[in-house]
């Protein structure tokens, strides 16, 4: 609430002479409370003066002496504020003492009609005391006054329904039915023992649910699910709890049966209502994920400019339900995490008040047909006030496990073929449990998956592979089918249940699986084989590889060398996606996740369209929703689908990058929005507050394991995906990739250089392995992060060689050392650790190992400073049309050339003169920056203190490279709107005008975090999502149409946009000038 809303309420109370109770008052922000304190002061002052009128918020209002202000609050919870002293001084404090529960229980029982109220109250309080002492501490347990009151109310209702029943039995039943649903397995057993000790002579029957049981069985059967006793028991507990409480929470780990429980109950009650069974009404559910939207979108807010009130999604649903005269049950279902940030505003709805109070003064009642239901994984960040207000039904995942699901799956897939069903039951019994147990005890998963999630992935993959094309036809020959089925079963098991383990885990599982069954050939690992339908046996993926040569004119980043890893991953990805299941690709930075998924998307059928989204720390759920809806068209009133009636494949990169809301709310709203869509097929229109279905769309995501800015994603979201971990390729695979790229180039050179492609590839990989083990990141050296992209950069730099300038192996080795020093050593700090010296030692050893004993000193014999290595650049010779990348033999000539270029720069009329002294380090930096700018898609980060020449040298290097410099002008009013306008200008220069440009950006210009997110998107994909409105796109298409036609790129809107983005990526070079972190 803001001070104006509170002020309006105060004004009304003063003029009406009414009393106002402000519950949870300290949830108002501290800056608002400070103003509210001044408002209270003016009211108290008027009351003390017995004034008839007084000035309040700029208006003169009447003051009725009967008015009163009361504050109730819980101190010390998350999301609560300490009241300022000036407000405390105006209020009389009243500390509430711990209530005498025994007396309250006795009075309530007497009021409910119990004759032996005193003894029964003692037993009740004794049980609660023992539960607090002996049961485990769980976030969803509560033994407070609200819980006790609910038990006693239920006991009273049972007493009134059947006054002749034994009072002890009534109380025992109430205690059991109201407390048992929330206990975990171990606590449930202990609770039953405690209850038996307090009521030793009583034995309670299981509660009967009558007609509902048959309806539940019918609904479970029609859904293809098992009539598992635990599930039916929990549905019965939910039914009982809903009879006595209007607010209930289903708590449990993902895939424990929460959604199945409430959906089955709703369907069963609706079915009974259709049959006109007394006591049952049809159920209408309204599902919301409160963390997928903001608080204002949930509850409503004032427009800050017009001060008009706009209802939120929840308030809209509440109003429509409260106004509805339809004879049904209305369940408002909150399927999402619970935290104090949003749930505390629901306190007045969840307790006996049953009223939703909004900041505009609206009070929406919860009618008798309405109830609240929550589906949560845990309540670790919920306040005790929330826990005490709701009935808890805990579903323990271990009670049902995955076996009922497997039984249902076998019945659905092979129900008409008993022999085939039996065969698969034997295979499941033979492998699954043993593999899961061994994996849990001996293997590490970078992103752990639950057993049930693994089983779910396995069944989906095996079902997709179980086709006649793959040799699985039971009607032909059952024996041959059995052999082939086991092979495909093992293949599916390998790429589902064991797909998430790391490299070491793969080796262990290979040995263990071979011990279980020697189905696989003896060489390589189980991960290196696929099932060949023609040969009806396992074959190595390598057998499908063909000789690869780069196409002439292909840029380096378009060279994708097929390997056994890429063949295998492509097949698995394609199989999962074609079976309409969501895919999550996990792997360390640089292993090729994005490249392989983009390869999958490039080869999609014509009926598919694609959308690529890059997540970052500041990605908002609203921005994600806008991006997805921007490629949709309206299919009907509440349905959206991809343009042109196609099917959309959405690729989300850096899936775990979105920042968690806060420490008190550790959840990622964009991921919650995607989970809502995956579970329920749509989301809410944020402006109209109406549900929209998103049709014909599917999700593929990629992420690195949690570390640094990458968060651990919610288990409930992760369980919606088939997870595959891409491990770092073996050195033999990497050697093959880079050797294949280099060999055609080196064939143009002299015989001494021709055979060096393998040596250069192996040396680079060996040096990379050495660097990653030796130079680890520390707080002072947080940028010491290396990945396989660095290996590619070294090879890319080496490929700049031309045969006219490199005719000996020594000259090629010097070029290779230069590229290694640029890629690896340029980021090393110059401190007492002497990292550059250690790097030269490592490079010397690699050179001896891979270049026939070549010595560092011998290769660098005529270099003036070995620690800096040779200098290569491509701006010394201006006589040729194509500037050669060559070694600088004469430093004085290089210096003179740089000074000439500086003089040329200063003569340019539009450029500001730079009075620079070009000393040796400055000239080396110019060469380094120039090298990056001449690389396709080359981007640089220059780290140094202010005044060290980062921007001046970047401008000079850009001038030498013939590249324009684009800089934003920061003003006092510069915000995101101005930034986006500048980005549009930059994209027009690079994408439409086709002008090579360096975008120079320094850390002092970072006025908003969103700037950094946009730069991240430019670096990763070449575009900024939602930068252009639909009305701006035709101008862009017209601007690139002619060039696209010349390049034979195609003329559809999608192809023109892709050409525009490619032009930006080709012409735009981002140069970030950053300062190092301050040391204490």
In whole angstroms, give the CA distance from residue 957 to residue 949: 12
How many CB atoms lie under 10 A from the CB of residue 646? 18
How many CB atoms lie under 10 A from the CB of residue 504? 12
> Left if phi > 0, otherwise alpha if psi is -120 to 50, otherwise beta: which for 162?
beta
pLDDT of residue 385: 84
How many CB atoms lie under 10 A from the CB of residue 162? 9
pLDDT of residue 1010: 81
Dihedral angle sign, alpha carbons of residues 921, 922, 927, 933: positive
pLDDT category at 495 given cuts 50, 70, 90 is very high
Give phi and psi for 703, each to the nearest 5.
-160, 155
In whole angstroms, give the CA distance from residue 154 to residue 176: 11
Global pTM value: 0.87
CA distances from 557 to 747, 793, 913 (A): 21, 10, 37
What would the mean pLDDT of 831-835 be, rounded to a whole number?
82
Question: Cβ distance 334 to 290 under 8 Å?
Answer: yes
Question: Cβ distance 592 to 653 under 8 Å?
Answer: no
Q: Give the ranges where 223-257 is alpha helix by DSSP (H).
A: 229-244
User: What residue has token string 């950069």?
Assistant: 793
pLDDT of residue 1080: 46
pLDDT of residue 294: 94
Question: Cβ distance 537 to 563 under 8 Å?
Answer: no
pLDDT category at 771 given cuts 50, 70, 90 is very high
What would the mean pLDDT of 253-257 be, rounded to a whole number?
94
pLDDT of residue 999: 96
Question: Cβ distance 649 to 700 under 8 Å?
Answer: yes
What would the mean pLDDT of 953-962 be, rounded to a whole number?
93
Please name every residue paired with 1062 in a beta bridge, in sequence order, or none if there are none.
none
Read out DSSP for 460-504? Answer: HHHHHH-SGGGT--TTT-HHHHHHHHHHHHHHHHHTTTTTT--HH
- Which class for 838: exposed (0-12), middle (13-18), buried (19 or more C-beta within 10 A)? middle
For 938-942, the CB contacts below 8 A with 24+ separation are 938/1069, 939/1019, 939/1069, 939/1070, 939/1071, 939/1072, 940/1069, 940/1070, 940/1071, 940/1072, 941/1071, 941/1072, 941/1074, 942/1071, 942/1072, 942/1073, 942/1074
What would the mean pLDDT of 1017-1036 be, rounded to a whole number?
86
What would the mean pLDDT of 519-527 be, rounded to a whole number?
86
Of 169-183, 371-385, 772-786, the least confident: 772-786
- Which class for 453: exposed (0-12), middle (13-18), buried (19 or more C-beta within 10 A)? buried
What would the mean pLDDT of 32-57 be, rounded to a whole number?
91
Using the predicted structure, report yes or no on whether residue 941 has a pLDDT greater than 50: yes
> Which is higher by pLDDT, 1010 or 289?
289
Question: Cα 1007 to chain center, whole Å?
Answer: 26
pLDDT of residue 74: 78
Residue 709: name the closest of 774, 643, 658 by CA. 658
Question: Cβ distance 642 to 631 under 8 Å?
Answer: yes
Please name every residue paired with 682 in a beta bridge, in sequence order, or none if there are none.
693
Sheet of strand 1068-1074: strand arrangement: 940-943, 1068-1074, 997-1002, 964-966
Question: Cβ distance 950 to 958 under 8 Å?
Answer: no
Question: Cβ distance 358 to 315 under 8 Å?
Answer: yes
Residue 57: name the closest of 69, 33, 32, 39 by CA. 39
pLDDT of residue 1078: 63
* Helices and strands (H, E) in the chain, number of each type: 40, 30
pLDDT tens, 1054-1072? Answer: 889 889 999 999 999 999 9
Sheet of strand 682-684: strand arrangement: 632-636, 639-642, 691-694, 682-684
What would the mean pLDDT of 265-274 be, rounded to a whole number?
95
Apex 608 CA angle, 603 and 613, nearest 5: 85
User: What residue has token string 């899936």?
Assistant: 655
Using the predicted structure, report yes or no on whether residue 291 has a pLDDT greater than 80: yes
In whole angstroms, give the CA distance from residue 718 to residue 730: 28
pLDDT category at 95 given cuts 50, 70, 90 is confident
> Which is higher by pLDDT, 1047 or 557?
1047
Give phi and psi for 888, each to the nearest 5.
-85, 115
Question: Cα 430 to chain center, whole Å?
Answer: 36
Average pLDDT, the chain: 90
- Which class for 982: exposed (0-12), middle (13-18), buried (19 or more C-beta within 10 A)? middle
What would the mean pLDDT of 898-909 be, rounded to a whole number?
90
pLDDT of residue 945: 85
Q: Give the ranges where 681-830 is alpha helix by DSSP (H).
A: 715-718, 731-746, 756-774, 788-798, 809-823
pLDDT tens, 973-1021? Answer: 899 899 999 999 999 999 999 999 999 999 899 888 888 888 988 988 8
pLDDT of residue 831: 80
């Amino acid at each position: 609430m803001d001070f104006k809303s509170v002020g309006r309420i105060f004004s009304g109370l003063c003029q009406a002479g009414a009393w106002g109770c402000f519950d949870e008052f300290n949830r108002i922000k501290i800056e608002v409370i400070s103003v509210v304190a001044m408002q209270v002061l003016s009211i108290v002052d008027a009351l003390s003066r017995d004034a008839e009128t007084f000035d309040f918020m700029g208006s003169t209002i009447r003051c009725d002496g009967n008015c009163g202000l009361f504050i109730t609050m819980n101190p010390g919870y998350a999301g609560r504020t300490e009241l300022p002293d000036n407000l405390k001084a105006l209020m009389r404090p009243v500390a509430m003492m711990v209530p005498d529960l025994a007396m309250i229980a006795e009075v309530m029982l007497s009021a409910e009609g119990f004759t032996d109220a005193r003894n029964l109250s003692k037993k009740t309080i004794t049980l609660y005391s023992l539960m607090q002492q002996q049961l485990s501490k769980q976030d969803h347990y509560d033994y407070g006054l609200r819980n006790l009151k609910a038990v006693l109310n239920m006991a009273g209702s049972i007493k009134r329904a059947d006054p002749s029943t034994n009072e002890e039995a009534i109380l025992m039943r109430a205690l059991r039915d109201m407390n048992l649903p929330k206990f975990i397995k171990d606590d449930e057993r202990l609770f039953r023992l405690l209850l038996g000790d307090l009521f030793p002579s009583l034995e309670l029957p299981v509660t009967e649910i009558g007609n509902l049981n048959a309806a539940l069985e019918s609904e479970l059967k029609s859904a293809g699910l098992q009539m598992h006793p635990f599930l039916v028991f929990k549905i019965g507990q939910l039914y009982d709890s809903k009879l006595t409480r209007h607010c209930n929470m289903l708590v449990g780990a993902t895939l424990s049966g929460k959604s199945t429980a409430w959906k089955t109950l709703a369907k069963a009650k609706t079915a009974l209502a259709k049959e006109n069974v007394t006591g049952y009404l049809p159920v209408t559910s309204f599902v919301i994920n409160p963390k997928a939207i903001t608080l204002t979108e949930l509850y409503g807010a004032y427009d800050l400019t017009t001060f008009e009130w706009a209802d939120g999604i929840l308030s809209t649903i509440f109003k429509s339900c409260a106004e509805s005269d339809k004879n049904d049950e209305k369940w408002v279902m909150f399927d999402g995490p619970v935290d104090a940030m949003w749930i505390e505003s629901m306190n007045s709805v969840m307790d006996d008040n049953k009223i939703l109070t909004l900041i505009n003064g609206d009070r929406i009642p919860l009618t008798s047909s309405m109830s609240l239901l929550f589906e949560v994984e845990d309540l670790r960040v919920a306040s005790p006030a929330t826990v005490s207000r709701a009935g808890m039904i805990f579903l323990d995942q271990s009670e049902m496990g995955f076996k009922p699901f497997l039984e249902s799956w076998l019945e659905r897939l092979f129900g008409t073929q008993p022999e085939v069903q039996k065969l698969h039951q034997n295979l499941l019994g033979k492998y699954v449990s043993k593999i899961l147990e061994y994996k849990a005890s001996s293997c590490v998963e970078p992103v752990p998956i639950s057993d049930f999630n693994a089983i779910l992935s396995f069944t989906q993959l095996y079902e997709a592979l179980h086709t006649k094309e793959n040799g699985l036809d039971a009607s032909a020959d059952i024996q041959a089918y059995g052999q082939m089925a086991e092979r495909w079963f093992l293949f599916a098991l390998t790429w589902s249940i064991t797909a998430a383990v790391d490299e070491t885990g793969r080796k262990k599982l290979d040995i263990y699986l071979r011990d279980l069954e020697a189905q696989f050939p003896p060489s390589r690992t189980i991960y290196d084989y696929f099932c060949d339908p023609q040969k009806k046996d396992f074959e190595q993926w390598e057998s499908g590889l063909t000789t690869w040569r780069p196409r002439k004119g292909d840029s380096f980043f378009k060279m994708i060398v097929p390997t056994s890893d890429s063949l295998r991953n492509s097949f698995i990805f394609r199989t999962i996606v074609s079976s309409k299941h969501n895919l999550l690709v996990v792997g360390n930075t640089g292993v090729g996740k994005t490249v392989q998924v983009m390869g999958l998307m490039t080869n999609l059928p014509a009926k598919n369209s694609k959308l690529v989204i890059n997540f970052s720390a500041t990605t908002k759920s609203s921005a994600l929703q806008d991006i997805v809806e921007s490629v949709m068209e309206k299919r009907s009133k509440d349905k959206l689908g991809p343009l042109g009636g196609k099917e959309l494949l959405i690729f989300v990169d850096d899936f775990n990058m979105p920042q968690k809301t806060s420490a008190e709310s550790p959840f990622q709203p964009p991921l919650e929005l995607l989970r809502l869509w995956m579970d329920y097929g749509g989301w809410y229109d944020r402006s109209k507050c109406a549900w929209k279905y998103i049709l014909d769309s599917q999700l593929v995501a990629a992420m690195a394991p949690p570390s640094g800015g990458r968060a651990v994603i919610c288990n409930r979201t992760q369980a919606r995906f088939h997870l595959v971990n891409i491990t770092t390729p073996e050195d033999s695979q990497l050697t093959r990739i880079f050797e294949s790229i280099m060999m055609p180039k080196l064939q143009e050179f002299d015989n001494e250089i021709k055979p060096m492609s393998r040596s250069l590839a192996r040396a680079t990989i060996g040096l990379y392995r050495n660097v990653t083990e030796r130079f680890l990141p520390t707080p002072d050296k947080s940028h010491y992060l290396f990945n396989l992209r660095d290996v590619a950069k070294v090879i890319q730099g080496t490929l700049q060689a031309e045969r006219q300038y490199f005719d000996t192996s020594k000259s090629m080795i010097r070029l290779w050392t230069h590229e290694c020093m640029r890629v690896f050593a340029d980021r090393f700090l110059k401190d007492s650790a002497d990292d550059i010296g250690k790097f030269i030692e490592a490079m010397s050893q690699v050179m001896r190992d891979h270049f026939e004993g070549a010595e560092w000193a011998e290769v660098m014999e005529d270099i003036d400073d070995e620690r800096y290595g040779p200098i290569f650049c491509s701006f010394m010779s201006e006589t040729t049309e194509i500037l050669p990348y060559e070694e600088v033999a004469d430093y004085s000539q290089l210096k003179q050339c740089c000074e000439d270029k500086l003089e040329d720069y200063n003569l340019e009329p539009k450029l500001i003169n730079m009075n620079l002294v070009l000393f040796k380090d400055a000239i080396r930096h110019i060469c380094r920056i120039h090298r990056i700018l001449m690389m396709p898609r080359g981007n640089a980060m220059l780290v140094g203190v202010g005044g060290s020449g980062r921007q001046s040298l970047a401008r000079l290097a850009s001038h030498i490279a013939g590249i324009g410099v684009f800089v934003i002008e920061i003003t006092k009013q510069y915000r995101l709107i101005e930034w986006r306008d500048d980005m549009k200008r930059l994209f027009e220069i690079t994408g439409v005008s086709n002008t090579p440009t360096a975008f120079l950006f320094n850390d002092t210009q970072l006025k908003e975090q969103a700037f950094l997110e946009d730069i991240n998107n430019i670096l990763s994909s070449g575009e900024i999502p939602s930068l252009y409105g639909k009305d701006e796109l035709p101008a862009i298409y017209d601007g690139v149409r002619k060039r696209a036609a010349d390049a034979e790129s195609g003329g559809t809107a999608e192809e023109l946009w892709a050409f525009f983005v490619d032009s930006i990526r080709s012409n735009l070079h981002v140069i970030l000038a950053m300062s190092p972190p301050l040391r204490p």
